[in-house]
């Protein structure tokens, strides 16, 4: 994939006076942490910086120093450079901000997702990196901007988020070397980790109380699922974000290969989240139902009653596991 | 605290021909991983090594390369040196193995827990280290023993276990530097992390299905608790180890400072696990009921019916939170 050098990114930013930075829709820790870290760092070298996000900063990232400087949507004024972070396609910037990609502004894209077609004027894409936060770390070194506690806390959050606290496959020796450096700036590891991984609003537990009785495992023990229907949703004032972790419960059962989460989003419409642990390509499984995603995490939206949908998808998942086992 | 140098430990091991290694009762990842890593390493320099454990290797650590070499209890034969790992007091070795401490064998103690009175002939205690695994890493460097994939996988497991995947307070830059080095030996990070943190037997989820409806929060929102009574235990074939994570559910509710888990162990006898998130010293709280532990994790055993015990402890916890808040 054609990509510019990190030095080219550094040069573009150094030459700019005013810079707008944004991450992606439904921002996660990598998106928000990278945005703030880069924003604070560029502020230190007297750039006129604005940080924004297509959607509001989620509550769990409001503890981040600098999070109050992140606006929402398109800010007023003109910018020399627009930096898009953690976005593999312009769509990920949301309707408003992606219009900048065809504007006269110089667009810089910094990302770690594999991408077919770089969309910016300057593209730095490193799919070997486990997070965009790691690339921002490299960029700040390249620009000789000194780190501080606030920048380090944001970069730590970005990197820890996208590696699941250093548990995921992409975690490399360089990831840990960077974190070792960041910890020198007195990052409150336990506090940050609690905030982003551990602490959850009471609604998450209320959702769990309702959903857990629906947890089931197939006879073969390799497919498990959990459900959340409209009636359950109405019983408590839970938002969709409070159901996000439910799929982890079937996924974590020893022996399970494919985990499914069925969420009724309206009468006759069911969202299915799919996860696999080791060998089944759930991207392919989801594609059979007009969905998609990654090998280990995918999803689809199906019309039908929740129990019919469940029956159909569970059968397909069991078949996929059987086929996958044969190929092992 | 008086302690010998790591060089003294290295010398003692180098001079020995036969070496017995053990961790502590109810072994965790640090205990088992450190035992196997040191055992494999000493085997590489042609020592006659036996690895043992006061209790069997728990199922979740059976994936560790070398775990099949760990015996249980006192092995036959004589040894020049006995190495106790991760034990702050001889009691932690269990009844059988602690008899070695007063035997003619040279005892080496390697630990990272603060200890009042070192009990061995050679003591290396570094309470700055977040895990015994990190000390074993230093020791192998000191002894110039080359690491390999199997040793690295055991050390990774030891260090990741005792730091909660690098989330706990004691995690330091050196921790990450060591992990970066270990990852060079092709440790399967995602697989190891899944095995030790994620994957759980189905019984854990059955316990959760029963216990979660008992989750309650105090009116002040700062104390939360969960319970598991004998009737619940009888309904499923769950062992005590399957209830270990329950206290994390009240602990993770946003705003909660003290989390409690009430487990009826027999009629009229209740085990209470206490956790605090930020400021309450639950060691002191437990001490009021003849229990003990650490500032953020403690416990006690109380005679009484589970609902009476609950009422009493919840009231004491609310009081402790109020007092703690005043001191903040």
pLDDT digits (tens, 9 = 90+) for B27-51: 999 999 999 999 999 999 999 999 9
Q: What is the pTM of this model?
A: 0.92
CA-nearest of B143, B141, B163 to B152 is B141
Q: What pLDDT band is residue A100 in, cutting at 50, 70 and 90?
A: very high
Q: What is the mean pLDDT of chain B?
A: 94
- The angle that helices B29-44 and B132-142 make with each other, rounded to 10 degrees, is 10
Comparing A253-267, B222-236, B295-309, which segment has the lowest mean pLDDT?
A: B222-236
Decide if pLDDT at B117 tops 90. no
Structural contact between residues B152 and B189, judged by C-beta atoms closer than 8 angstroms: no
Pick the CATH number of A202-325 from 3.40.50.620, 3.50.50.60, 3.10.310.30, 3.30.2130.30: 3.10.310.30
The pLDDT, as a whole number, for residue A2 is 60
pLDDT of A1: 53
Sketch the domain layout of chain A as residue ranges.
Answer: 6-198, 202-325
A138 confidence band (pLDDT: 50, 70, 90) = very high
Q: Do B253 and A199 touch (CB under 8 A)?
A: yes
Residue position matching structure tokens 């960077």: A178
Mean residue pLDDT of chain A comes to: 94
Between A48 and B117, the higher pLDDT residue = A48
Task: Pull the structure tokens for residue B118.
Answer: 């070192």
Task: Report whether pLDDT(B1) > 80.
Answer: no
The pLDDT score that the predictor gives to residue B134 is 98
Looking at the complex, report in whole angstroms how far the Cα of residue B178 sits from the nearest Cα belonging to chain A.
9
Distances (CA, A) of A80 to A12, A14, A48, A74, A164: 10, 11, 10, 15, 35
* Pick from A209, A253, A255: CB nearest B212: A209
- Decide if B200 and A167 are in contact by the 8 Å CB cutoff: no
- Selection from B256, B64, B228 nearest residue B152 by Cα: B64
User: What are A18-28's pLDDT values in tens digits?
Assistant: 999 999 999 99
Percent of chain A with pLDDT over 90: 87
How large is the average pLDDT for residues A92-104? 93
Which residues in B lie closer than 8 A to residue A241 (C-beta atoms)? none
B264 phi and psi, to 5 degrees?
Answer: -75, 115
Count of other CB atoms within 10 angstroms of residue A56: 13
Q: How far apart are CA B137 and CA B268, in angstroms?
A: 46
Above 80 in pLDDT, residue A321? Answer: yes
> For residue A166, what is the nearest residue in chain B, using CA coordinates?
B165
Contact predicate B74/B97, CB 8 Å: yes
Q: Tell whether B297 is within 8 A of chain A (Cβ).
A: no
A52: β partners: A22, A71
Would you state the pLDDT for residue B3? 85
pLDDT at B186: 97
Q: What's the rounded mean pLDDT across residues B243-268?
A: 95
A96-105, B26-35, B143-152: least confident range? A96-105
Inter-chain CB pairs, A–B, below 8 Å = 117
Better-scored residue on pLDDT, B26 or B165 = B165
Q: Which candidate from B167, B217, B255 shows the least CB-CB separation from A197?
A: B167
* B217–A contact, CB cutoff 8 A: yes
Mutate to test the interface with B, among A164, A190, A241 (most CBs of B within 10 A): A190
Q: Which residues of B touch A203 (CB under 8 A)?
A: none
Is it the case that residue A262 has pLDDT exceeding 70?
A: yes
- With beta carbons under 8 A apart, name residues in chain B contacting A226: none
> Which residue does chain B place closest to A250, by CA atoms?
B205
What's the rounded mean pLDDT across residues B105-124? 92
| A166, A204, A227, A245: best to mutate for the B interface, most B CBs within 10 A | A166
pLDDT band at A117 (very low <50, low <70, confident <90, very high): confident
User: Is it the case that residue A238 has pLDDT exceeding 90?
Assistant: no
pLDDT for B240 equals 83
Quick one: average pLDDT of A41-46?
98
- What mean pLDDT is predicted for residues A219-231? 95
The CATH code that applies to domain B6-198 is 3.90.1640.10
Interface touch A180/B180, C-beta < 8 Å: yes
Interval B133-160 mean pLDDT? 98
Q: Is the pLDDT of residue B166 over 90?
A: yes
- What average pLDDT does this structure show over A57-71? 96
Alpha helices in B60-123 (DSSP H): 94-98
User: Nearest CA to CA, how far is A104 from chain B (Å)?
Assistant: 43
d(CA A263, nearest CA chain B) in Å = 19
- What was the pLDDT predicted at B8? 97
Quickly state the pLDDT bin for B235 (edges 50, 70, 90): confident
Give the number of other Cβ atoms within 10 Å of residue A71's Cβ: 16
Which of A272-281, B9-18, B33-42, B319-328 shows the lowest mean pLDDT across its residues? B319-328
Residue B328 predicted with pLDDT over 80 = no
Confidence at residue B327, expressed as pLDDT on a 0 to 100 scale: 59
């Amino acid at each position: 994939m054609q990509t510019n050098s990190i030095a080219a990114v550094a040069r573009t930013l150094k030459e700019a006076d005013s810079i707008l930075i944004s991450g992606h829709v439904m921002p996660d820790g990598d998106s928000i942490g990278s945005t703030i870290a880069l924003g604070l760092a560029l502020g230190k070298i007297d750039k006129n910086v604005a940080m924004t996000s297509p959607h509001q900063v989620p509550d769990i990232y409001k503890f981040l120093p600098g999070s109050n400087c992140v606006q929402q949507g398109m800010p007023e004024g003109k910018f020399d450079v627009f930096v898009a972070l953690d976005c593999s396609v312009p769509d990920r910037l949301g309707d408003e901000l992606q219009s900048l990609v065809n504007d006269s502004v110089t667009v810089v894209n910094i990302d770690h997702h594999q991408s077919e077609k770089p969309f910016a004027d300057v593209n730095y894409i490193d799919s070997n990196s486990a997070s965009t936060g790691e690339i921002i770390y490299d960029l700040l070194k390249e620009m000789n901007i000194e780190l501080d506690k606030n920048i380090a806390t944001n970069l730590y959050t970005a990197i820890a988020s996208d590696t699941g606290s250093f548990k995921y496959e992409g975690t490399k020796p360089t990831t840990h070397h960077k974190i070792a450096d960041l910890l020198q700036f007195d990052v409150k590891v336990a506090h940050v980790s609690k905030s982003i991984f551990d602490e959850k609003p009471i609604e998450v537990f209320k959702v769990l109380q309702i959903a857990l009785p629906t947890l089931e495992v197939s006879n073969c023990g390799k497919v498990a699922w959990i459900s959340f229907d409209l009636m359950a949703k109405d019983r408590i004032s839970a938002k969709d974000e409070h159901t996000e972790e439910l799929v982890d419960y079937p996924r974590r059962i020893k022996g399970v290969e494919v985990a499914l989460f069925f969420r009724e989003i309206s009468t006759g419409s069911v969202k299915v989240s799919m996860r696999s642990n080791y060998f089944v390509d759930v991207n392919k499984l989801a594609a059979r139902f007009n969905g998609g995603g990654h090998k280990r995490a995918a999803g689809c939206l199906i019309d039908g009653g929740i129990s019919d949908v469940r029956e159909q998808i569970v059968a397909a998942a069991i078949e996929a596991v059987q086929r996958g086992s044969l190929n092992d």
